[in-house]
């Protein structure tokens, strides 16, 4: 058993780690999950400037992603609809209506040139073998923008989840520039579907945001929905409105959906109903208003890490400088190698070192002659000559040596030296260079006519509580059989309630219970009290209960209040096992006890005043009224044989 447990624990930990890092949570460096990263890697490999069938891309990607074509196709469509990574051709679905994309064999795509700029640089990217060892794939891309904020992410792993909202690309770039300059910045989500958001409870990437659809109320007899509340689409929104109308929550006579390129949902109102009367109900009962909880969890340094939007911007500001530095260093090394080779070639030809190898008989002698020929010119070399350098010189064709252009070589060397000076200067001011790069991205977005305008409007409003706008228009009936509820036929109406109300009822035996408004429930004939379960109001009522011991027939009185309760739990107003004779909710009243007839006893009744007795706690046992056996009680002002009182319930309406 111990072996099985250890094996299970080991396998579970490995599985959990795999799901967290390789499936569900995006990496902070490039903002991508593994399947998305493999799709982009495949597109970069296939890029020839022309559109490719999505089915072809999916097939090629399967050599990197071991989980089948369905997950690849779905992830590709999601990436394409983000607009930053992939140019699309054909039906990739509609984010407004929720319609799916066409089959992969019918649609085409190619990599967005902008993505190659900020995501692709194989010279400084680390590659590892793919799952079958036949190919290589990147561990992460060296992204120059905080893509995790631009694309957003949702994922459920083992014991954790992530939900990152999308942000506006222009605002993200501006925030990163401010971060590089040491200035303060603020970022708020921006959704493709537009709408309104309240960020009062949003804490820099975590917390809760309230989203609302944008409504056109210019015509008082109709409502036009022009923008959606994230994460709704027109289909789910219309379904929610239809369900609310069917349940009587929203008064709508007709719904017309004209959504295509833009959102346009028209709600016709019935006669006598105006737009201003319906707005709150739409927000309360439909997807016109939604609450979105955000949780910014990313993979950082190979571990799941909770971060804020500000921390991600700060991380990427440093990462951008590091990437640009690596690119400059790579270019500098490449130019240095090129300068070294051009210097070797010039000396090799200009000093006719190639002549010294004509008399040599062996390879070793040839290489030695070349090396010795460069000894007098060692000061001119960028670095010491190597075996690879000698091999390069010996591979130069005779035709090229005879036609070697010294002027061209000199111009090229001058150009290389000029560029090396620029690189050295730039390396000393990486912050300025990073800001220049971000400025260039903004210009490219303008040139590509990319829509960088903010779509979602930040506005302060409170979430609409359905309980607050619910009307008490449902009759709560109580019949002579002892049934109480909104679906009880016949009987008398005791209250008008809403679906969110709680009620409290006191049965004939003195037991009281707080509950949701019932459809139909048996509570006993002749209930003492039925009212709203409002603790503030109920605690104002002074309950007087007159009861007797069923064995001794001795009567007692108890005056108390009900300050609190737990829903759907039974409580007794009188001590357990006592027989309740009367319950009253008046501050003061008179009552008369009827005593049992006994020989030589002429006084068979006695009057009392309830106000003469003190108020006690709910758990007290009460005060004995008399030592004589009680046959019943008669209460002043009581017209019914059963003392069922609803007048206090009426007051609580």
The pLDDT tens digits of the residues spanning 590-628 come to 999 999 888 877 888 899 999 999 999 988 889 999 989
Task: Please name which of 220, 247, 239, 221 lies closest in space to residue 288, comparing C-alpha atoms.
Answer: 239
Mean pLDDT of 217-233: 92
Question: Exposed/middle/buried for 335, CB within 10 Å: 0-12, 13-18, 19+?
Answer: middle
pLDDT digits (tens, 9 = 90+) for 114-145: 999 999 999 999 999 998 889 999 999 999 99
Q: What is the DSSP string of 1-23?
A: -HHHHHHHHHHHHHHHHHHIIII
Residues in the chain: 653
Whether the link from the prior residue into 221 is cis, omega within 30° of 0, is no
Task: Please name which of 547, 479, 481 lies closest in space to residue 511, comparing C-alpha atoms.
Answer: 547
pLDDT digits (tens, 9 = 90+) for 394-434: 887 777 776 677 888 888 889 999 999 999 999 999 999 99
Question: Mean pLDDT over all residues of the chain?
Answer: 87
pLDDT band, very low/low/confident/very high, at 652 (cuts 50, 70, 90): very low
Is the model's pLDDT at 644 over the cut of 70? Answer: no
Structure tokens, 357:
């190898």
Interatomic CA distance for residues 29 and 326, integer angstroms? 15
CB 466 within 8 A of CB 450: no
Q: How far is CA 259 from CA 196, 341, 517, in A?
A: 18, 63, 40
Q: How far is CA 369 from CA 99, 381, 391, 497, in A?
A: 74, 17, 13, 106
Is the model's pLDDT at 242 over the cut of 90? Answer: yes
Least confident of 8-12, 548-552, 583-587, 592-596: 8-12
Is the model's pLDDT at 649 over the cut of 50? Answer: no
**Of 15, 18, 106, 127, which is the active-site residue?**
106
Task: Please name which of 191, 192, 193, 188 lies closest in space to residue 205, comparing C-alpha atoms.
Answer: 188
Interatomic CA distance for residues 323 and 321, integer angstroms? 6
CB 220 within 8 A of CB 276: yes
Mean pLDDT of 20-48: 88
Interatomic CA distance for residues 414 and 420, integer angstroms? 10
pLDDT band, very low/low/confident/very high, at 645 (cuts 50, 70, 90): very low
Interatomic CA distance for residues 373 and 366, integer angstroms? 11
Alpha-carbon radius of gyration of the chain: 41
Interatomic CA distance for residues 506 and 492, integer angstroms? 17
Q: What is the pLDDT of residue 650?
A: 41
Burial letters 200-237, b for 16+ CB under 10 A, else e: eebebbbeebbbbbbbeeeeeebbbbebbbbebbbeeb
Q: What is the pLDDT of residue 10?
A: 54
Place of tokens 């903004």: 442
Our measurement of the distance from residue 180's CA atom to the centroid of its chain's CA atoms, rounded to an integer in Å, reads 28
Is the model's pLDDT at 559 over the cut of 70? Answer: yes
Question: Exposed/middle/buried for 311, CB within 10 Å: 0-12, 13-18, 19+?
Answer: middle
Q: What is the pLDDT of residue 4?
A: 56
pLDDT digits (tens, 9 = 90+) for 57-85: 999 999 998 888 888 999 999 999 988 89
Burial letters 475-505, b for 16+ CB under 10 A, else e: ebbbeeebbbbeebeebeebbebeeebbbbb
Is the model's pLDDT at 18 over the cut of 80? Answer: no
Our measurement of the distance from residue 116's CA atom to the centroid of its chain's CA atoms, rounded to an integer in Å, reads 29
Q: What is the pLDDT of residue 8?
A: 52
Question: Exposed/middle/buried for 559, CB within 10 Å: 0-12, 13-18, 19+?
Answer: buried
Start-to-end CA distance of the chain, whole Å, equals 65
Is the model's pLDDT at 390 over the cut of 50? Answer: yes
Is the model's pLDDT at 351 over the cut of 80? Answer: no
Structure tokens, 242:
């239809």
Q: What is the pLDDT of residue 116?
A: 92
Q: What is the pLDDT of residue 623?
A: 92
Is 106 an annotated catalytic residue?
yes
Sign of CA dihedral 537, 539, 545, 550: positive
pLDDT digits (tens, 9 = 90+) for 522-549: 988 888 888 898 888 888 899 999 999 9
Task: Please name which of 213, 223, 235, 226 lies closest in space to residue 268, comparing C-alpha atoms.
Answer: 223
Q: How far is CA 70 from CA 61, 66, 341, in A?
A: 12, 11, 50
φ, ψ of residue 149 to 5 degrees: the values are -85, -30
Structure tokens, 598:
């006994």
pLDDT digits (tens, 9 = 90+) for 157-168: 777 889 999 999
Interatomic CA distance for residues 211 and 200, integer angstroms? 12
Is the model's pLDDT at 2 over the cut of 80? Answer: no
Least confident of 247-251, 449-453, 646-650: 646-650
Task: Please name which of 119, 133, 156 lies closest in space to residue 20, comparing C-alpha atoms.
Answer: 156
pLDDT band, very low/low/confident/very high, at 462 (cuts 50, 70, 90): confident
Q: What is the pLDDT of residue 643?
A: 37
Place of tokens 């290489």: 367
């Amino acid at each position: 058993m111990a072996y099985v447990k250890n094996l299970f624990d080991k396998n579970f930990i490995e599985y959990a780690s795999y799901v967290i890092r390789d499936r569900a949570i995006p990496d902070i460096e490039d903002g991508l999950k593994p399947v998305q990263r493999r799709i982009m890697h495949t597109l970069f490999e296939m890029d020839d400037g022309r559109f490719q069938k999505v089915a072809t891309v999916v097939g090629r990607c399967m050599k990197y992603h071991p989980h089948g074509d369905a997950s690849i196709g779905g992830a590709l469509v999601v990436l394409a609809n983000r607009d930053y990574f992939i140019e699309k051709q054909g039906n990739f679905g509609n984010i407004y209506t929720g319609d799916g994309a066409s089959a992969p064999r019918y649609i085409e795509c190619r990599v967005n040139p902008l993505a190659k700029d900020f995501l692709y640089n194989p010279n400084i990217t680390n590659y590892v073998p793919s799952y079958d060892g036949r190919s290589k794939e990147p561990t992460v891309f060296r992204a120059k923008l905080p893509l995790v904020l631009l694309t957003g992410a949702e994922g459920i792993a083992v014991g954790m989840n992530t939900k990152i909202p999308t942000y506006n690309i222009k605002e993200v770039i501006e925030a990163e520039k401010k971060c590089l300059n040491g200035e303060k910045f603020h970022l708020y989500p921006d959704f493709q579907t537009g709408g309104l958001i309240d960020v009062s409870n949003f804490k820099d990437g975590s917390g809760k945001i309230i989203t609302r659809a944008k409504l056109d109320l210019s015509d008082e007899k109709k409502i036009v929905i022009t923008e959606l509340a994230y994460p709704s689409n027109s289909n789910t929104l219309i379904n929610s409105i239809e369900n609310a109308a069917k349940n009587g929550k929203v008064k709508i006579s007709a719904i017309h959906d004209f959504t295509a390129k833009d959102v346009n949902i028209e709600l016709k109102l019935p006669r006598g109903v105006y737009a201003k009367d319906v707005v709150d109900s739409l927000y309360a009962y439909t997807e016109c208003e939604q609450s979105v909880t955000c949780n910014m969890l990313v993979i950082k340094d190979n571990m799941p890490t909770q971060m804020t939007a500000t921390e991600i911007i700060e991380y990427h500001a440093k990462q951008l400088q590091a990437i640009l530095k690596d690119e400059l260093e790579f270019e500098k090394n490449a130019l240095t190698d090129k300068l070294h080779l051009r210097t070797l070639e010039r000396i090799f030809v200009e000093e006719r070192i190639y002549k010294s190898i004509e008399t040599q008989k062996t390879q070793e002698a040839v290489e030695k002659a070349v090396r010795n020929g460069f000894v007098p010119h060692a000061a001119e070399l960028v670095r010491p000559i190597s075996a690879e350098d000698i091999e390069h010189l010996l591979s130069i064709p005779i035709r090229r040596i005879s036609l070697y252009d010294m002027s061209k070589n000199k111009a090229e060397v001058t150009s290389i030296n000029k560029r090396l000076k620029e690189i050295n200067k730039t390396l000393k001011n990486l912050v300025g260079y990073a800001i220049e790069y971000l400025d260039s991205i903004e210009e490219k977005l303008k040139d590509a006519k990319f829509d960088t305008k903010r779509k979602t409007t930040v506005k302060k409003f409170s979430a609409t509580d359905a309980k607050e706008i619910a009307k008490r228009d449902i009759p709560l009936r109580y019949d002579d059989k002892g049934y109480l509820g909104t679906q009880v036929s016949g009987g008398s109406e005791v209250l008008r309630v809403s679906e969110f109300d709680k009620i409290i009822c006191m049965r004939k035996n003195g037991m009281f219970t707080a509950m949701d408004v019932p459809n139909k429930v048996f509570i006993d004939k002749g209930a003492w009290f039925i009212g709203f379960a409002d603790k503030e109001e109920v605690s104002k009522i002074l309950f007087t209960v007159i009861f007797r011991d069923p064995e001794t027939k001795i009567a007692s009185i108890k005056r108390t209040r009900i300050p609190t309760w737990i829903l759907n739990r039974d409580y007794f107003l009188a001590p357990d096992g006592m027989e309740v004779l009367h319950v009253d909710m008046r501050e003061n009243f008179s009552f008369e006890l009827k005593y049992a007839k006994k020989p030589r006893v002429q006084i068979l009744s006695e009057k009392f005043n309830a106000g003469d007795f003190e108020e006690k706690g709910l758990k007290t046992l009460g005060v004995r009224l008399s030592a004589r056996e009680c046959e019943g009680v008669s209460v002043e002002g009581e017209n019914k044989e059963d003392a069922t009182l609803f007048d206090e319930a009426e007051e609580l309406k």
